[in-house]
Structure 1
Amino acid sequence: MLKLGNLSGAALLACLPVGAAWAQGPVSGVVTDARTGTALPSATILLDGTPVGTTDVSGAYALPAVPAGAHELRVSFLGYETLKRRVQGQPDAQQLSLSLQPTAVLTGEAVVTATRANERTATAYTNVSKEELARRNFGQDLPFLLDQTPSVVVNSDAGAGVGYTDIRIRGTSNTGINMTINGVPLNDAESHGSFLVNLPDLASSVNSLQIQRGVGTSQNGGAAFGASINISTLDNRREAYAETQNTYGSFNTWKNNVQFGTGLVGKYFTFDGRLSRIASDGYVNRGASDLKSYYFAAGYQQKNTLLKFITFSGREKTYQSWNGVPEFALTGNRALMQQFIDNGELSAAEAARALQEGRRFSHYTYDNQTDNYQQNHYQLHLSQGIGEDWNVGAALHLTRGFGYYESYRTRRKFADYGLPNFVLGDTTITRTNLVDRKWLDNYFYGGTFALNYQPRDNDKLQATVGGAWNRFTNDHYGEVIWAQYASTGNTRQRYYANDADKTDYNGYARATWQVLPRLGVYGDVQLRHIEYNISGVEDEQNDVTTHVKYTFFNPKAGATFILARGQQLYASYAVGQREPVRSDFTDRPAGDVSAKAERLEDFEGGYRLSLPDADWLGPRTAVRFEANYFYMKYRNQLVATGQLNDVGTALRTNVGRSYRTGLELTGAVSANDKIGLSSTLTLSRNRIQNYRNVIYDADYNMLVDDVARTTTISYSPAAVSAHTLEGQPLKGLRLALLYKTVSRQYLDNTASRERSLKPYQVLDLRVRYSIRPQFVKEIELGLLVNNVLNQKYVNNGYTYGYPDAAGRQQTFNWYFPQATRNVLASVGVKF
C-alpha cells in the first residue's frame, strides 16, 4: 500500500497530547484511471499540502490517522489531472477510492520522467520532496540538506555549511556523482565536479529530487560511479503566490530570499521567480562567503503541449579556505609544528599564527584571496503528447561560466611568469612578491530528448528512448595584476594559457515489463562517446596538450517480485564506464602513466516493506523498511591519493582492481502521525586489491612499495548512520532531533591511522512553528541548533609526505574542522 515519506514524531514523547488521538481515524482506498479502471501505482498522496506517501503496485493507499476536522486530500499522477477531495477526520475507518481523469495538459514531470527510477527499475533510490527540503533549508548548501539520506557524508571547507561544500555517497565524491537539473548535466565537463556554491539557494526552487545509489538508470552527462542526484524545478503552480524566507545565525550568517508566481495567466501561461542572497563569515577565520542567485521560469501549456523557458544564475565570492588547518593547530604538538617549519610547509610566523588561531586557522591573510565565479544557465523545455500513449520531452540548454581565483604569491621567480628579471644598476632581482589571477571562461551547450511510451489502458509495459549531444569549451589562463618589482611585462601579463573542448553524445533505451502480476523485468542500454582535447601550457609552464576519445557501452538489467501486500524483492546488474577528469591528465607527476578510463560493475539486491496499517505494533502505526545489498566491482578506479593540487582539487591515481560492498538499511515507524522515528545505516567494506603505495623522495623520484597488499579505499567509512526523531506535540509545532555518525576515514590508501579522520557523531535540533493569521497565508518561525553537543570534529582533510635526508618518512596532515555548537533562526512568510 502507501509508501510513507518522511514520518513525523515527537522529539519529546512526554509532550504528546493523548486526548487528540481519540478523534483520529484511518482513511484508505484505491487510486485508478477513471476511463479504464486500471490501478495507478506510485501516485502521490498529499494531506493538507503535505506529502504522506505514494500508492503501492496495486494502486492502494492508506492513511493510518487523519485528525478530527476538515482536510484536503490531494492525489497526483503523471499524465492525469490532480484530484482534490475534502475528507472529514472521524474515529471510524473510512474507505475512499479515487479515480483520476487523464489530463489534457502535460505536467512538468513529463519532462523529467525519463531520468527517474521507480519501483519497477530494481534500483536503490530515495525521493526527496519540495516540502522535505523546505523543512531542512535554513540557508546551508544542498549537500547539508541531504545529510540524513542513506550512505551520505558531507563536509564544508569553511566549516558552517555555506560556501564550498561537498557530498560523498558510498565513499564516492561528487566527481563520481551524476547531477542533473531537469535532465541537463550539472557536472563540470572537465572536472566532473558539481559546484553548488555557484548556485546558492537552489533548494528553494526545487520541486522534487531523487538520489539513485550505484550506477542507477541511464543519465545524461558523466557516469554515476557512486550515485546520481536528479533535480527537478519544472513544477507548475496554478495559483498565484508570494513568499519570503529570512535566516540569521552564528558566524554572521544571513539568508534572504523572495519568491513569487503568477499562477495561470490567460489560462495558458505561468511565471515564477526567486531572488536570493546568502552570506556568512564562516567558522574558519576569513572563511567568508557572499553568494547571490536568481531563478526565473516562464511556461506555456495547452492540451498536449508544455513549453517552458528557465533561467537561473549564481554569483559567488568566497575567501579561499581550501588549504585547511595543519594537524599541530588542532593538537598543540609543538614538535610537529617544528617539522612543518623545518620542511618549509609553513614559515615560523605562519606556524605561530596557526598555533594561536587553532582549529579556526586560515592560511591566507591577503584581503582579496578570493574565488570569484558566475554561472548563468538557460534551458528551453518542450513536452509534447503524441496520441494517448506517447509523449516526447526535449530540451536545449546553454551554461555560461566565467571567473577567477586571485592569490597573493611571495618570492616568485620572474622567469616562471614569462617576465625578464628586474635590473637596478648593478643589482639583478630575480624574485618578487606578486598577485595573480587564474581565469576560467567557458560555455556548455547542447540538447537532450526522450520519447516515452506509457499506454493508458495497459500499464504492464513502459519504455523510453532518449539521448543527448553536449559540447563544452573552456579557456584557462593566468594573469599577473600586480608585482612588487615592476618588470617590463604588460599590464595583466598572461603567463600561461590553454584551451579545452569536449564533445559528449549518448543514446539509450530502456523498458519495464510486468511479465506476471507479481514479476516485473527491467532493461536499459546506453552508448556514449566522448572526445576531449586540451592544447597549451599550464601555470608551471608544462605542456598539457591532450587528445583522447572514448566509447562506452553500458548495459543494465533487473527484476522485481511482489512477495505480498507491501513487500517487494528486487535485484539488478549495471555497468558504468567513465573517462578521467582534467586533473588526471594535467597534474600527473613526471614518469606516471596516462590516466585510464574506469569501469564499474554494480550488483544491487534488496527487500522493501511498506505497511501503513501495522496495528500489531500499536494503534494506527505505520512501518517502512528497506534492506539493500550492493557489490560494486571496479576496474582501473581512480581513487584519491590524499593530496590536493594548487586550487584544492583532489589528486587521483588508477588502481587495477577494487570493490565496494555493503548493506544499506533504512526504516521508519510512526504512530498517529504524531511521533515517528526514521533511521538509515550503511555497513560497507571498501578495498583496493594488490595495491602498491607510491611516494616521492626529495628529488621527486617515484618510489613504489615492493609488496602488494589489500587496503582500504581513501575517504570510505565502514559505517554511516543517520537518525531522525520528529513529532508534532502541538498543532503547528514540529520538533526534530537529527543524529549522524560516521566511522573512521583514511586520507590516503595506506589505511594508516596516522593519516585518518577520527570517527564522529553529531546531534542537531530543529524546531518549526507555523501559524495561519488572517492577514497572510502562513507565518513560520524556525530554529536550527547544529552540533548540540558541541563536538570538535573533522570530516575532511588531505595528506602528503616524503622522506627526509635521513630517509625517515615525513607526513603532513591538513584538516577541515567543522563548527562547534551554532544556531540559525528563520522567519518565513507566505502571502
Structure 2
Amino acid sequence: MENSYVKSLKASVVLTLFLGPLWLSAQQKSNDSTQVNQLDEVLVKAVRVNKKTPVTFSNLTQKDIASRNLGQDIPILMNYMPSVVTTSDAGNGFGYTGIRVRGTDATRVNVTINGIPYNDSESHGTFWVNMPDFASSVQSMQLQRGVGTSTNGAGAFGASLNLLTDSYSKKGTGEIANSFGSFNARKHTVKFSTGLMNDRFEIAGRLSQIASDGYVDRASADLKSYFLQGTYVGKTTLIKGLVFGGRERTYQSWNGIDGPTLAVDRTFNSAGIFTDEFGNTRFYDNETDNYQQDHAQLHWSERWNDRWSTNVALHYTKGKGYFENYKEDADFAEYGLAPVAGQTSTDLIRQKWLDNDFYGTTFSANYKKDEFDLILGGGWNKYEGLHFGRVIWARFASTSELGDEYYNDYGIKTDGNVFAKATYDLSSQWSVYGDVQYRRVNYKANGVQPTLVDDTFNFFNPKVGVNYAVNTKNILYFSYARANREPNRTDYEGGNVRPEKLNDFELGWRYEASKVQFNANVYYMLYRDQLILTGALDDVGSPVRSNSERSYRLGLEVDATIALSKQWIWKPNFTISQNQNIDLTNNGVAVGNTAIAYSPNLIAGNLLLFEPVKNLHLTWLSKFVGEQFMNNLERPEARLPDYFVNDFNVSYSWNPKSVFRTITVNGLVNNILDKTYVSNGYMWDIFPYYYPQAGRNFLVGLTLQF
C-alpha cells in the first residue's frame, strides 16, 4: 500500500518535469482572469450545460458545501439537491455511501471528473469511499437530471454528475482543516498552492485522513487520500497534470439488519459473526474491505482564436484491493479443496480480490461564432480487470497451499464514443439544440461459466430541444433524449439479460430576477427493458436487477432560491412523481402495474439561511423522503417508511491581522430532532433488511487559511 503513494509522488515529479520546460520557456505573460477561467472551464465544457441548454440541471460549488465539508462523503453533501436521496451503510455518512436520483441508483448516474469517466466499467458503480475527502479538491459539480447531454463513459439513465477539480491559484496559499465529531469521527486536511510562479506555473496539493467508528457496530472507516496538481498557464494555453487517489479500510456494514433485531438493537452488525469451538459467539476482527485507487490525468486546453478551442486528455486509473470474510462450515468443494477424512466442510477466512486498470483518452473541440455554438467530442477507454479469491486460513486445510486461488476471472471492456452537439440562436428569443452520439461497447468476461459475456453493443443516442426566452427573466424549454445502456457484470451473472432503452421528455421553466431564482420542470421517462432493482443482494453484496419490459417515471420538479431579506435566504425544492412497471411479470406470473422499487413519490428538501452579522451563517436543512418499496411487488413487508430529517449548520469566519488570512469555525448537527429512521434496505427472499441511520450527532471543524 505504501509503495503506491511513492509511485504517485514519482508520477507528480514526472509531470513537473514535463510542465517545467514550458514554464521556463514561456515568454508571454497574461493576467486576463476572464480568459483564464474560460480555459479552465474547457475541461468540462464538452459535458456541461448552461441555462440556454434545454436540459434540467443544478449546480453545486465548493462554497455551497464548504461549511458542511467535515468528513462526510460527496453523496451526503449532495443530499439537499432536487430529486436526490442518499444513504450510508455505517449510518453517519462515513465509509460506504449511496445516492439515487429520480429513483435511479448510482449505477445509472454517469460520473465524470474533468470529463474523464469515473464509474466502474463492470459494475457501473461509483465508490466515493475510494477517494475520501475528494470534495476538498472540487471547485464545482453539475448534476444533470434525466438523460442529460452526451458525455463520456457509462450511459446516464437517471442523471449525469460532472465534477471540475480545483483551478489554479495566482497567489500562494495554504490551508489546515481539522474536524471532530460523534462516533469518534475526525478529518485532517492540509492543502497548499505555490501560486503562479513567473505567472506561468503552479503546483498545488492536498493530503487528507478521515476516520470514524461508525454509528453501526464496528462500522469503522480508516481513509487516506491525496491530490497533486501541476498547471501551466499561457496566454491561450492551459495544461494540467493531476495525480490523486485514496486508500480505504472499512469494517463491513453492508449486511443491514433484520426487522426483529432492528426493534431491539438498531446498531447490531452481523458482519464477521461466528461461533467458536467452545460455543461462544464472536466477531472476526478483520471482516474488512481494503482498496486503493490511484488516478492520473493530463489535460491540454487550447484557445486557438476567438472561435475555436480544444481539449485533449489522457488518463490512467489503477485499482487493487480485497475484502475479507470469516466463513463458517464452508464446503470444501466450493473452494476447490479435497475433503478431509470425516469432514466435508471447514471454517475458513477468504479474500476476494480485484486488480484492475482503466486507461484512455477524451477529446473535444468547440466552435463558437455569433449565434452558433458547436461541440465535437468523444473518448476511447479500456478496462482490464482481474477477479480472484484466496483462502488465507482454514481450520482443516486439506490440500491447499498458501497463495492458491479458488477462482480467477477476468473482464475486458472497450468503450468508445463520438458526439456532436450544437446550439443555434434562431432569434433573440428562440434557440434550438441538437445532440447525437454513437457509442460502441465491447465486453468480454468469464465467471462461473467459461464465457460469462462476450457482447458488442452499438448505441445511437439522439437528443433535440428548443429554448424560448419569453423575456429577460423567463425561459421555457423542451427536450427529447434517447439513451441506451448495457447490462453490468452482476446482471449477466443473474442469467439472460437485455440492454435497456430510455426515451426522456423534459418540459421546463426557468425564472431569474434579482431576488428570486425559480426552476420547474415536468419529466416523462419511458423505459424499455429497464433493469430494475429486485431488492435482493448477491453473495458479495451487489444489488440484483432484472428487466422490466415496460416502465415509466413521470414527475414534477421544483426548486427555488429566494432572498427574503438581506439576512434571510430560502432554498426549497420538491419532486412529485409516479414510477410504474407496466404489466410486470414475476417468475412467469403476471403481477400487473406496480411501483418501481426505491422510487418514492415525494422527495423534498429545504435550506433556510440566516446571516445575523457579517461572516456568521446559520442554516436549517430539512429532507423528506416518501414511502418506497424495496422490491417491485408492493408487498407490505417490502415497505420502507417515509422519513423527515433536519440538520443544523453554523459557520463563522474572521480575518485576523496575523499569519492566518482567514479562520473559520464550522459546526453541523445532523438529525437535530433525533429522528429514528432507516434510509435504505433490501429483501432477502421475503425477509426485509434495513440500514438504520444515526440519531442526533455532531461534527465541528476549524479551518486555518494563510
Same fold (TM over 0.5): yes
Cross-structure match for 1:195: 127
* Alpha-carbon contact 2:532-2:596 (below 8 Å) kept: yes
Once the two structures are TM-superposed, the CA of residue 171 in structure 1 deviates from its matched residue by 0.2
Is structure 2 residue 613 aligned with structure 1 residue 730? yes
Once the two structures are TM-superposed, the CA of residue 145 in structure 1 deviates from its matched residue by 0.6
2-structure distance, mates of 1:295, 1:584: 34
Is structure 2 residue 331 aligned with structure 1 residue 430? no
SS at match of 2:39: coil
Once the two structures are TM-superposed, the CA of residue 727 in structure 1 deviates from its matched residue by 1.2
1:799 to 683, 686, 690: 683
Alignment-mate amino acid for residue 568 of structure 1: I
2:460 to 545, 553, 559: 553
Describe the shift of the 1:173–1:104 C-alpha distance in structure 2 as closer, same or farther (beyond 3 A).
closer
1-structure distance, mates of 2:609, 2:591: 49
1-structure distance, mates of 2:694, 2:166: 35
Once the two structures are TM-superposed, the CA of residue 234 in structure 1 deviates from its matched residue by 4.8
* Alpha-carbon contact 2:170-2:199 (below 8 Å) kept: no
Q: How does 1:273-284 map to 2 (within 5 A)?
A: 273-284=205-216
Q: How does 1:245-644 map to 2 (within 5 A)?
A: 245-332=177-264, 357-364=265-272, 365-423=283-341, 428-455=342-369, 458=370, 460-535=371-446, 537-538=447-448, 542-543=449-450, 545-586=452-493, 588=494, 592=495, 594-612=496-514, 622-644=515-537
* Alpha-carbon contact 2:551-2:582 (below 8 Å) kept: yes
* Alpha-carbon contact 1:322-1:647 (below 8 Å) kept: no
2-structure distance, mates of 1:295, 1:783: 25
1-structure distance, mates of 2:168, 2:678: 41
2-structure distance, mates of 1:673, 1:243: 30
Runs of 4+ aligned structure 1 residues displaced above 2 Å come to: 80-83, 103-107, 357-364, 542-545
Name stretches of at least 5 consecutive residues in structure 2 with no aligned partner. 1-29, 273-282
* Alpha-carbon contact 2:39-2:302 (below 8 Å) kept: no
Once the two structures are TM-superposed, the CA of residue 544 in structure 1 deviates from its matched residue by 5.1
Once the two structures are TM-superposed, the CA of residue 359 in structure 1 deviates from its matched residue by 3.9
Alignment-mate amino acid for residue 347 of structure 2: N
SS at match of 2:611: strand
Alignment-mate amino acid for residue 384 of structure 2: T
Once the two structures are TM-superposed, the CA of residue 363 in structure 1 deviates from its matched residue by 3.5
* Alpha-carbon contact 2:39-2:237 (below 8 Å) kept: no
2-structure distance, mates of 1:415, 1:362: 25
2-structure distance, mates of 1:782, 1:360: 31
* Alpha-carbon contact 1:789-1:821 (below 8 Å) kept: yes
* Alpha-carbon contact 1:693-1:749 (below 8 Å) kept: no
Alignment-mate amino acid for residue 296 of structure 1: L
SS at match of 1:525: strand
2:140 to 208, 212, 224: 208
Once the two structures are TM-superposed, the CA of residue 81 in structure 1 deviates from its matched residue by 6.8
* Alpha-carbon contact 1:477-1:494 (below 8 Å) kept: yes
1:260-300 Cα distance to aligned partner (Å, 9 max, x none)? 00110122101110000110000000100000000000011
Describe the shift of the 1:115–1:234 C-alpha distance in structure 2 as closer, same or farther (beyond 3 A).
farther
* Alpha-carbon contact 1:326-1:815 (below 8 Å) kept: yes
* Alpha-carbon contact 2:67-2:650 (below 8 Å) kept: no
Range 502-511 or range 745-754, more displaced: 745-754
1:232-265 Cα distance to aligned partner (Å, 9 max, x none)? 1151211110011111000000000000001101
* Alpha-carbon contact 1:724-1:736 (below 8 Å) kept: yes
Cross-structure match for 2:113: 181
2-structure distance, mates of 1:786, 1:104: 39
* Alpha-carbon contact 2:501-2:529 (below 8 Å) kept: yes
SS at match of 1:482: strand
2:579 to 661, 676, 686: 686
SS at match of 1:108: helix
2-structure distance, mates of 1:488, 1:362: 31
Normalised TM-score (structure 1): 0.79
Q: How does 1:752-763 map to 2 (within 5 A)?
A: 752-763=635-646
SS at match of 1:358: coil
Q: How does 1:61-100 map to 2 (within 5 A)?
A: none
Cross-structure match for 2:554: 661
* Alpha-carbon contact 1:544-1:585 (below 8 Å) kept: no
Alignment-mate amino acid for residue 608 of structure 2: L
* Alpha-carbon contact 2:253-2:269 (below 8 Å) kept: no
Describe the shift of the 1:104–1:400 C-alpha distance in structure 2 as closer, same or farther (beyond 3 A).
closer
1-structure distance, mates of 2:442, 2:566: 53
1-structure distance, mates of 2:84, 2:31: 36
Cross-structure match for 1:88: none
SS at match of 1:216: coil
SS at match of 2:535: strand
Cross-structure match for 1:740: 623
2-structure distance, mates of 1:368, 1:708: 43
Once the two structures are TM-superposed, the CA of residue 545 in structure 1 deviates from its matched residue by 2.7
Describe the shift of the 1:210–1:308 C-alpha distance in structure 2 as closer, same or farther (beyond 3 A).
same
SS at match of 2:266: helix
RMSD (Å), alpha carbons = 1.4
Cross-structure match for 2:542: 649
SS at match of 1:429: coil
Cross-structure match for 1:818: 693
Describe the shift of the 1:790–1:227 C-alpha distance in structure 2 as closer, same or farther (beyond 3 A).
same
Alignment-mate amino acid for residue 624 of structure 2: T
1:191-235 Cα distance to aligned partner (Å, 9 max, x none)? 000111100000000011100000001000011100010001151
1:54-84 Cα distance to aligned partner (Å, 9 max, x none)? xxxxxxxxxxxxxxxxxxxxxxxxxx9766x
Cross-structure match for 2:13: none
Cross-structure match for 1:140: 72
Alignment-mate amino acid for residue 266 of structure 2: G
Once the two structures are TM-superposed, the CA of residue 106 in structure 1 deviates from its matched residue by 6.0
1:79-124 Cα distance to aligned partner (Å, 9 max, x none)? x9766xxxxxxxxxxxxxxxx7xx3896311221111011121000
Once the two structures are TM-superposed, the CA of residue 490 in structure 1 deviates from its matched residue by 1.1
1:339-396 Cα distance to aligned partner (Å, 9 max, x none)? xxxxxxxxxxxxxxxxxx4344443221000000000000000011222210110100
1-structure distance, mates of 2:191, 2:379: 32
Q: How does 1:85-124 map to 2 (within 5 A)?
A: 103=35, 107-124=39-56
* Alpha-carbon contact 1:108-1:234 (below 8 Å) kept: no
Alignment-mate amino acid for residue 305 of structure 1: T
1-structure distance, mates of 2:108, 2:615: 40
Once the two structures are TM-superposed, the CA of residue 668 in structure 1 deviates from its matched residue by 2.1
Alignment-mate amino acid for residue 88 of structure 2: S
1:690-715 Cα distance to aligned partner (Å, 9 max, x none)? 10123xxxxxxxxx32x340000000
1:723-760 Cα distance to aligned partner (Å, 9 max, x none)? 01101102221000001000001000011232121000
2-structure distance, mates of 1:522, 1:175: 27
SS at match of 1:754: helix
SS at match of 1:422: coil
Normalised TM-score (structure 2): 0.93
